[in-house]
Amino acid sequence: MLTAYLIPALTAVIGLVMLCSAEAIVSVLVVALGIFLTLSGVYVLFTMPKFLENTAAKIGTYVRGGLSVILGLLCIILPVGVANFSWKAMMIILGIYALCSAGLEAYAVFSFTDDSIDKKRYMIEVGGTIIAAIVLFMLPSSFGFTLIRFAGIVFIFVAVVLAINIYRNRDIVEEDAPVVDDE
């Protein structure tokens, strides 16, 4: 039964770290973003061009995928020994990349030649990328750290709600219940 409380406990710990050490969370987020960008770039390079016949859209897709891999690797490598200024510059560069990436992806999606491909999924990704760009532009500022601390408070609240929900829905077993044999 105690293992059921593991997720709320870990969520609370993450929330406390976000609340108390927002700068460290930014470092972790940048590395996680780097891993995502690298994997996303490889995926884009090997899957999206086959859906395109338009040469300009294919070139845009190759540029987007290549830049994604390069920036992703930079996000993974740079946190090891970079100064605060470099973090701010990297966030701005990533924000600009995200906006350009969203535009290139939207252009590629509208250039798909196969009508059976669901474009809605890709457009949701474009919207998410634009939102990520806005967050990236805010991270270097004090508002970005405030946003991370607020997210930490939300994580702690969610952890408490999860723990209460687990407690309310636990199995209730009577210890001294009589055993009835139906034979």
Residue type for position 100: C
- CA dist 27 and 80 (Å) reads 9
pTM of the predicted protein model = 0.58
- CA dist 164 and 171 (Å) reads 14
pLDDT of 79 > 80? The answer is no
User: For residue 85, what pLDDT band results from cuts at 50, 70 and 90?
Assistant: low
CA angle 84–85–90, rounded 5-degree value: 100
- CA dist 92 and 90 (Å) reads 5
Give how far the C-alpha of residue 82 lies from the chain's centroid of Cα atoms, to the nearest Å. 22
Domain ranges of the chain: 24-163
Q: What percent of the chain has pLDDT over 90?
A: 1
